[in-house]
Structure 1
Amino acid sequence: MAIRHALAAPALLGALLITVSGQALAADVARASFGQLSTGETVEAFTLTNNNGVSARVITLGATLQSLVAPDRNGKSADIVLGYATAADYEKYANYFGVSVGRYANRIGKGRFTLDGKTYQLALNDNGVAALHGGKQGFDKKVWKVLEVKSGPVASVTLGYTSPDGEEGYPGTLTVTATYALDENNQLTIDYRAKTDKPTVVNLTNHALFNMAGEGAPEGAMGNVLTIPADHYTPVDAELIPTGELKPVEGTPFDFRKPRVVGQDIRDGSDPQLVIGRGYDHNFVLNGKTGGQMQLAARLEDPVSGRVLEVLTNQPGVQFYAGNFIDGTTVGKSGKMYRQGDGIALEPQVFPDSPNKPHFPSARLDPGKEYHHQMAFRLTIAPAQ
């Protein structure tokens, strides 16, 4: 059963509890203001909560995951994603914390690609050498429209944005939706869909940075233990663009097929790839089939608290970024400075620079087709050792 709220509802929907066939179903959706931007645009926040103490807050600016609260093995709750307390801070700082990135997540080399014989030039917003995360005014900087809010066994909010033909240099009018849904199994699913009226390229993902010890924890996130089921990764050049090689992880610091502490080898100066990226900032080629049902892309655990995150996706790759460029110049929502290594991004995606690498999975979207990226963050608790 689901309850649909009219978009003209009051600013606060409030916590709901409904009973069907004698069973209590969690149905908590809270709607509130999250402040204003310098443009005068209002940003709203939607908090989804289940009966297990898990909650997710999504804001309309950038269709952003602003908070994800999870209990540990002792029942102590912590917010495990980096973020800011105000809309003004999200507008001011370009850290991509929790945002929905597009049209093309990650990098496109030289900001240029060719489609059906025509070359498109994008903004070089990554140190002047590449297009990054959709450009100077990507989807993360747009206030998305609220399309639907549902309560019931699964609480959800659907946001939408229409990107006009030529925005940031991309062809075609692209109509996009992002649905965040929290269930009673402690799984937050993010469902991205897009349609176009001209051939274009699309690669949408969420850029949450996690610390399973809790955002702002003094020890940072380098003690988190990571598993990625990938036999290969895509090495990068000096501009952080994939060379096109699919390199085996065997015998390298990139082998996360078995659980590995993130900080174990991150400072290994003998590996040129770690030097180039200032640590991990690489795409991993996931094992198994893609394009259908979601499969495991990564598992992240804090051994001390027992909090576990599993990232699921139907996409072929996952970008592992260890927060190498966070420099201590911003203060997060809990009043703590964010420093290098304070958060870990695990971004399911098509590979970086796929439009320029024919042997990489295609990011092309044609009229009459639908782009569909389904990803999920599943929360569990590991028993004490």
Structure 2
Amino acid sequence: MNGEEFRLVSGDYTASVVQRGGALRQLTFQARDLVVPFDAAAPIPDYRGIIAAPWPNRIADGSYRHDGAVLHLPLNEASRRTALHGLAFDQLWTLQAGSAVTLSLGCELGDSPGYPFRLSLQLDYRLDAGGLHTTVTARNLGERTAPYGVCPHPYLLAGPAPLDEWTLELPAESFMEVTADRLLPLGTRAVAGHEFDFRTPRTIGATKIDHAFTDIAFDDDGTARIVVRDPSGTGVGMSWDRNSPWLQIHTADKPAPLPNRLGLAVEPMTCPPDAFNSGQDLVRLEPRSVHEAQWSIFAV
């Protein structure tokens, strides 16, 4: 179903990764789950832990214009008529190298009618005392400039309490407003005075979020961080580099009888939703050039 599973162990941390989508299946600290896990022998639910490339989030109607031509991608989010989370999430990534604490997987995207570009993707996981560190490197193997974006798709777990009781710290000044029906971009607005303002840590409560945030505060070393804490005192954090100026947050809201608000999706993105159409922060990967994005997940 999901190919081979790889296990990493370092001190109090353990991680499990499957070939399908290069997905992070489980991450624990002192036997506590830091992400919502999934069954390795069943289809991956809700894109948990996958790598979304060569675009993150969704593309309206699965169509975009490139070099004067309109290209059409498969619509895998039928209810919203969008192309969601790229082309690599359903691929079986191949093992390149591994050890007790490191793992390298590869995936190649060949020419297709909707994405006529050849990319080589390398996914590197490293587990140490600071948590799980991930790097995705994209190489353009073709002769044409390729539109590109990437993000991870973990659902973070702060602790045993319901998500509504977790405290969120999110250092973003703005968020992308979206249409209610299709979650397509309308424009950015300031978080100040809005329920999405988590610059000062506060309880999530009943707030529903499925939006991209930007104008993110990066440290002097070029790192941004988000932290989610449980009332019990446990927590989980995620950090990323400046190559991802956007951050999608989703409170995993589901209608009954589906399991609701199981975890907080945190997705550092190199570009916003529908960037293939807007061009905003879109990576234009030149022939033979390389792009790299990094992020980490850690216990707090």
TM-score, normalised with respect to structure 2: 0.91
- The answer as to 2:216 corresponding to 1:287 is yes
- The answer as to 2:1 corresponding to 1:46 is no
Pick from 173, 186, 193: which aligns with 1:251?
Answer: 193
Distance 2:28 2:102 in 1: 16
User: Which residue in the other structure is 2:131 paired with?
Assistant: 187
User: Which residue in the other structure is 2:228 paired with?
Assistant: 300
Pick from 64, 88, 100: which aligns with 1:139?
Answer: 88
Pick from 111, 136, 144: which aligns with 1:165?
Answer: 111
Distance 2:200 2:96 in 1: 41
Q: Which runs of 5+ in 2 are unaligned?
A: none
Q: How many residues align?
A: 294
Give 1:221 deviation, angstroms.
Answer: 2.1
Give 1:47 deviation, angstroms.
Answer: 1.5
Q: Partner amino acid for 2:241?
A: T
Distance 2:241 2:91 in 1: 24
User: Which residue in the other structure is 2:292 paired with?
Assistant: 372
Q: 1:204 to 1:226 in 2, by over 3 A?
A: same
Instruction: Tell me if structure 1 keeps the 8 A contact 2:22–2:89.
Output: yes
Instruction: Tell me if structure 2 keeps the 8 A contact 1:212–1:308.
Output: yes
Give 1:328 deviation, angstroms.
Answer: 4.8
- The answer as to 2:102 corresponding to 1:156 is yes
Distance 1:118 1:313 in 2: 33
Greater relative contact order (Cα < 8 A, sep 6+): 2
1:39-188 aligned within 5 A: 43-51=3-11, 53-71=12-30, 77-87=31-41, 89-90=42-43, 94-126=45-77, 127-134=79-86, 138-151=87-100, 155-166=101-112, 169-184=114-129, 186-188=130-132
Instruction: Tell me if structure 2 keeps the 8 A contact 1:111–1:131.
Output: yes
Q: Please provide the CA RMSD for this pair.
A: 2.1
Distance 2:105 2:209 in 1: 31
Q: Partner amino acid for 2:185?
A: P
Instruction: Tell me if structure 1 keeps the 8 A contact 2:4–2:18.
Output: yes
Deviations 1:26-59 (A, max 9, x none): xxxxxxxxxxx2xxxx7212221112x1111111
Give 1:94 deviation, angstroms.
Answer: 4.3
Instruction: Tell me if structure 1 keeps the 8 A contact 2:94–2:105.
Output: yes
Where in structure 1 do 4 or more consecutive aligned residues deviate above 3 Å? Answer: 325-329
Q: SS at the partner of 1:253?
A: coil
TM-score, normalised with respect to structure 1: 0.71
- The answer as to 2:283 corresponding to 1:355 is no
Q: 1:157 to 1:130 in 2, by over 3 A?
A: same
More strand by share: 2
Distance 1:125 1:304 in 2: 39
Give 1:324 deviation, angstroms.
Answer: 1.3
User: Which residue in the other structure is 1:325 paired with?
Assistant: 254
Distance 1:125 1:297 in 2: 31
Q: 1:54 to 1:294 in 2, by over 3 A?
A: farther
User: Which residue in the other structure is 1:233 paired with?
Assistant: 175
Q: 1:105 to 1:326 in 2, by over 3 A?
A: farther
